[in-house]
Structure 1
Amino acid sequence: MTDDGLVPIIDAFRVPLDHSSDSSGLERLVAEGRLRPDDIIAVTGKTEGWQPGETSRLDADRAVRSFLLDRGTRSADVINQIPMVFTTGGIGMLTPHVVVYTRTRGEPSNDSAGRLAMGVTRSEIVRPEWLASTQLIEANVRAIRAGAQDAGIDPSAIEYVVGKAYYPTQQDFTEARAAGHKIPEYDDKTLFRRASGSAGLAVAVTADGLAMPSADDIGEKLDLWTAKVAVSANPWEPVGGEGPQTQLVVMGNRVGAGGRLRVGHSAMADTLDIDALTRALRRAGLDVGPGPLSAEHRARVVAVYVKFSATPDGRLRGRRQVIENPQYVNQVKAALGGMFSAMLQDNLVWISAGATHQGPVGGGTVAVVVDVS
């Protein structure tokens, strides 16, 4: 709280996308006087891409940054530092959309349970040799601590972290080895597990007090996990920022913060554990019952995040899955989209696969941002 008695207020707006470069919904919010572009500090989004080589994630990122540059007063350098966490795979009944988070100032809430506090952060530039050690975990830990500080919360009060981890390309590794760095040969699937797993383990270290794992644990010792994270990974894309960094949005509930929002999370035991959504909603402060949400509760849901991993042994609750099918993960994502949409009675859900160290093996994590005003 400052001398004027005002405190940070985090608000959020969920906007469907008519196409991957669509900013018309944001323009409408500005025209209605509900959104100031200069107040936006973070963006998450679900885009429509579903096949290799598609560019929907980049298109959406560039469209939002262009909107902020054209409609606001901040410089391109400042806008490029805003974390934007887009995930592709808008399949089944999932609707592509963005959630934009704003930070303003106002009166503190008198709710003893607190209100949403948010910090935004990026790691240092990721070096290829870091993937062979714990250096990427350590860099992410530093970034998460900075995000907690930006949110005004202790790291132990972190409720959820949404982010995008980047990893170097095979060419980057070739050049690093030529420069004298000893780096094992990694295939792309292993690189994904090590990059996204390093982010998951960093949240576990920072928020849960996990002892620093060994380099050999990353992507392998899957009984090390946290329920407080959804971070995906892919090679660096030419969007905001200086280079391959982990970009993170850190959320918690802080007593004395202002606004209308709270966040809650839950571990998803497996991909049939739809009750994880109910647990997250209740933790966030909505007194929901079993089954689909009522119209009143549905109107209070502002954002939903689901991170999942496919069953590693090919069985779900003892029953065989056809994991040999190359479309298996996308089909599970579509199935989860149907499950969560049916419970929410709304299909604006952010769902991402590849939950390495993010929730139990074969399960994942769920988080919700809700209006408790």
Structure 2
Amino acid sequence: MPNAMSRRTALVHRVPARHPGDAAAVAALFDSGAMRPEEVVAILGKTEGNGCVNDFTRAYAVEALSWMLAARLGSTPEAVQARVALVMSGGTEGGLSPHFLVFGVREATAPSGPPALALGTGFTPELPPEALGRLAQVRATAAAVREAMDQAGIADPADVHYVQVKCPLLTNERIAAAKARGATVSTEDTYHSMGLSRGASALGVALALGEVAEAVLEEAAIGADWSLFSGRASCSAGIELLRGEVVVMGNSPAWGGDLAIAHAVMQDAIDLPAVQQALRGAGLAPGGGQLPPAEAARLVAVLAKAEPASTGRIRGRRHIMWDDSDINATRHARALVGGVIAAAVGRTDLFVSGGAEHQGPDGGGPVAVIARRGV
């Protein structure tokens, strides 16, 4: 029998949300003993807002989770937010279901075994408005990714399979504050600032993981040169924070437990084979159609990015996502990619995030799967 040793174990629980301020299912994890509040290192959430600048469902969820955790820890919401990465992604268009993914770390004695899911978190300093969408944000994010990798004990970037980043955006108030200091900002279009902030964060991930060399990074490339991207970055911008929050997910032989993560890169919004590749990489057997029930029972989470192709076409055929004045293009993309993945796995509580600037190729994006190993 393998020798037992002290190894960190990653915990991941997926729970439903009845509304953005509903922390009850997360609290129930603590009541059941599935996880202790002090073990929580990150919570990722899909909330049913519009995912745009004025999506306050994200801030609502962060507040609700912070107060609930603070009460359980005998702490304050501010202290919770300083330690725990609370990454809310707005938009559950189509059939996507609002939910939370709760990530924890437990010190446990476990036998040696194959590499298991490893988690690490990192934070940038508060980013001034003039840094957003610029190289300063790229470098700050890269430093936070390296910090998270160190925390997770992952030395080889090849062992990293997904990096979730929550980053700030520009508001009119923040733009005015920068101007009052004599500073300039990357854009005065608050919605466009979301894309630039996501793009700069993604290039920071690419820089940290060696996917893009610093020598080729120029400020003008952010939000413009789609040949530069990370195949493992997922970045979401929000009004509810001023710093970048990073969660690194990978596999490491220093971690125990039965969870593992794998990823693939969707080349476009309907790249089902890439989804199946990620499922197989995580040890599941998708077969030729929808994930069989026995395999679906071992599926813990699916995380993906969605973005309409800038060409206005998918495999040569025209799409109208960029031309719709009623529904934002990223909302169309979340619904489309969410439908493709839901058909593959047979469930709709999927962490599909819109806005994939420099996150995968133009019109595509990374997809990652966390699953339990088979017996």
- TM-score by structure 2 length? 0.91
Asked if the contact 1:266/1:280 (under 8 Å) is kept, the reply is yes
Deviation at 1:23, TM superposition (A): 1.9
Return the alpha-carbon distance in structure 2 between the equivalents of residues 76 and 258 of structure 1.
Answer: 31
Return the alpha-carbon distance in structure 1 between the equivalents of residues 274 and 111 of structure 2.
Answer: 28
Matched letter for residue 365 of structure 1 = P
Return the alpha-carbon distance in structure 1 between the equivalents of residues 132 and 160 of structure 2.
Answer: 25
Deviation at 1:169, TM superposition (A): 2.3
Deviation at 1:251, TM superposition (A): 0.9
Matching residue of 1:277: 275
Deviation at 1:111, TM superposition (A): 2.8
Matching residue of 1:240: none
Deviation at 1:198, TM superposition (A): 0.9
Q: Does 1:258 align with 2:272?
A: no
Matching residue of 1:119: 120
Matching residue of 1:232: 236
Deviation at 1:291, TM superposition (A): 1.6
Deviation at 1:209, TM superposition (A): 4.4
The sequence identity of aligned pairs, in percent, is: 30
User: After the TM superposition, which residues 1-373 of structure 1 pair with which residues of structure 2 at under 5 Å, given as runs?
Assistant: 5-50=5-50, 53-81=54-82, 82-112=84-114, 114-131=115-132, 133-154=134-155, 156=157, 157-183=159-185, 185-212=187-214, 213-235=217-239, 237=240, 244-322=242-320, 323-326=322-325, 327=327, 328-372=329-373
174 and 28 in structure 1: CA distance in 2 versus 1, 3 angstrom threshold: closer
Deviation at 1:185, TM superposition (A): 4.4
RMSD, aligned CA:
2.0
Return the alpha-carbon distance in structure 2 between the equivalents of residues 306 and 138 of structure 1.
Answer: 24
Unmatched runs of 5 consecutive residues or more in structure 1: 238-242
Matched letter for residue 264 of structure 1 = A
297 and 72 in structure 1: CA distance in 2 versus 1, 3 angstrom threshold: same
Return the alpha-carbon distance in structure 1 between the equivalents of residues 32 and 173 of structure 2.
Answer: 48
1:22-69 CA distances to partner (integer Å, 9 max, x unpaired)? 122123322322221121110001111237645322222112112211
Matched letter for residue 12 of structure 1 = V
Return the alpha-carbon distance in structure 1 between the equivalents of residues 187 and 124 of structure 2.
Answer: 24
Deviation at 1:178, TM superposition (A): 3.2
Deviation at 1:70, TM superposition (A): 1.5
Matched letter for residue 312 of structure 2 = G
Return the alpha-carbon distance in structure 1 between the equivalents of residues 179 and 332 of structure 2.
Answer: 38
Return the alpha-carbon distance in structure 2 between the equivalents of residues 132 and 36 of structure 1.
Answer: 37
Return the alpha-carbon distance in structure 1 between the equivalents of residues 117 and 296 of structure 2.
Answer: 19
SS in 1 for 2:370: strand
In the comparison of the two structures, how many residue pairs are matched?
363
Unmatched runs of 5 consecutive residues or more in structure 2: none
Deviation at 1:109, TM superposition (A): 4.8
SS in 1 for 2:212: coil
Return the alpha-carbon distance in structure 2 between the equivalents of residues 77 and 177 of structure 1.
Answer: 29
SS in 1 for 2:121: strand
90 and 370 in structure 1: CA distance in 2 versus 1, 3 angstrom threshold: same
Return the alpha-carbon distance in structure 1 between the equivalents of residues 133 and 340 of structure 2.
Answer: 38
SS in 2 for 1:6: strand
**Stretch deviating more after TM superposition (170-179 or 115-124):** 170-179
SS in 2 for 1:80: helix
Deviation at 1:182, TM superposition (A): 4.2
Return the alpha-carbon distance in structure 2 between the equivalents of residues 296 and 110 of structure 1.
Answer: 26
